[in-house]
Amino acid sequence: MHRTKVRVVEDVLDANNTIAQANRHDFDHHGVTVVNLMSAPGAGKTRLLERALEGLGDAGVRVGVLEGDVQGSYDADRLAALHIPVVQLNTDGGFGGECHLDANMVRSAVPSLPLADIDLLVVENVGNLVCPAEFRIGEDARIMVCSVTEGEDKPLKYPLMFRACELVLINKVDLLEHLDFDVERLEQNVRRVNPDVTVMRVSARTGEGVDAFRDWLAALPAREPAPA
């Protein structure tokens, strides 16, 4: 019997990386720094963005958001209230929708992004702990948001997500007094899979730690537009 081995996963990721490079070229051309914000559903990405982006303009950073969701524009509508450019990107193409943003989806939204008018683009990815970490989109940095309601073992169960990031935000720390949760153990587990990562404890509800997150975003290397 004749057998053929098809390397589907490798081919898909190779194609994605090629498109991610094209996205990176466009971002570089306009001098835009791009952050890929990822988490499980309900970790609090959007509320953190509302808190953190509100003061970035005062730091001289012009920010825009590409909002990824399976359906709807609920989060994008909330962020647009900050009077910053927001582009909605829905992944619902049938079968319940894609569980992540890939480089080609982001590329489809590039013409709608005001790249000439922003310094920082935050891509809020679809809530998922697996697929978003596998697909580069042309970003400069990746941020993972996890909440204290998810369990201390999340980094050990989903190591790729935590390993792929430069910054891990531990959100909802205002709930710690009500939970049987060891935040120190969570941090230890994060560093077991990613020793070099920066970890911050934050609360989107109270604002604890948000200033440090905002400063981290503002301190990302500014890019000069690349020659045409």
Cα dihedral value 163, 110, 87, 130, nearest 10 = -20
What pLDDT sits at residue 119? Answer: 95
Distance CA 7, CA 13 (A): 10
pLDDT at position 2, please? 59
Q: Does the pLDDT of residue 44 top 90, yes or no?
A: yes
- Is residue 138 assigned to a domain? yes
Mode of pairing for the β-strands spanning 33-39 and 141-147 = parallel
**115, part of any domain:** yes
CB atoms within 10 A of CB 59: 12
Domain-located, residue 226: no
Q: Based on the structure, what is the number of domains in the chain?
A: 1
The confidence score (pLDDT) of residue 221 equals: 73
74-128 pLDDT, tens per residue?
999 999 999 999 999 988 764 445 788 999 999 999 999 999 999 999 999 998 9
What mean pLDDT do residues 54-70 have? 91
Distance (Å, rounded) from C-alpha 123 to C-alpha 37? Answer: 6
**pLDDT given for residue 144 in this prediction:** 96
Cβ contact 213:52 at 8 Å: yes
Contact 190/162 with Cβ under 8 angstroms?
A: yes
* Structural domain includes residue 77: yes
> In this predicted structure, what is the pLDDT of residue 88?
94
In a domain, 223, yes or no: no
Kindly report the CATH number assigned to the domain that includes residue 52.
Answer: 3.40.50.300
Name the residue with higher pLDDT: 161 or 100: 161
- Banded model confidence at residue 196, pLDDT cuts 50, 70, 90: very high
Q: What is the pLDDT of residue 155?
A: 96
pLDDT band per the 50, 70, 90 thresholds, residue 4: low
pLDDT at 95: 45
For the record, the structure tokens of 89 come out as: 């990107």
User: 70-79, 110-119, 175-184, 210-219: which has the minimum mean pLDDT?
Assistant: 70-79
Find the domain containing 127 and state its range. Answer: 8-218
- Helices 45-53 and 210-218, axial angle in degrees (round to 10): 70
pLDDT 10s digits, 140-156: 999 999 999 999 999 99
- SS3 for the chain is CCCCCCCHHHHHHHHHHHHHHHHHHHHHHHCCEEEEEEECCCCCHHHHHHHHHCCCHHHCCCEEEEEEECCCCHHHHHHHCCCCCEEEEECCCCCCCCCCCCHHHHHHHHHHCCHHHCCEEEEECCCCCCHHHHCCCCCCEEEEEEECCCCCCHHHHCHHHHHCCCEEEEECHHHHHHCCCCHHHHHHHHHHHCCCCEEEECCCCCCCCHHHHHHHHHCCCCCCCCCC
In a domain, 3, yes or no: no
Q: What is the pLDDT of residues 202-211, one digit of tens each?
A: 999 999 999 9
Domain annotation covers residue 224: no
Q: Has residue 228 been placed in a domain?
A: no
Asked whether 144 and 170 are in contact (CB, 8 A), the reply is no
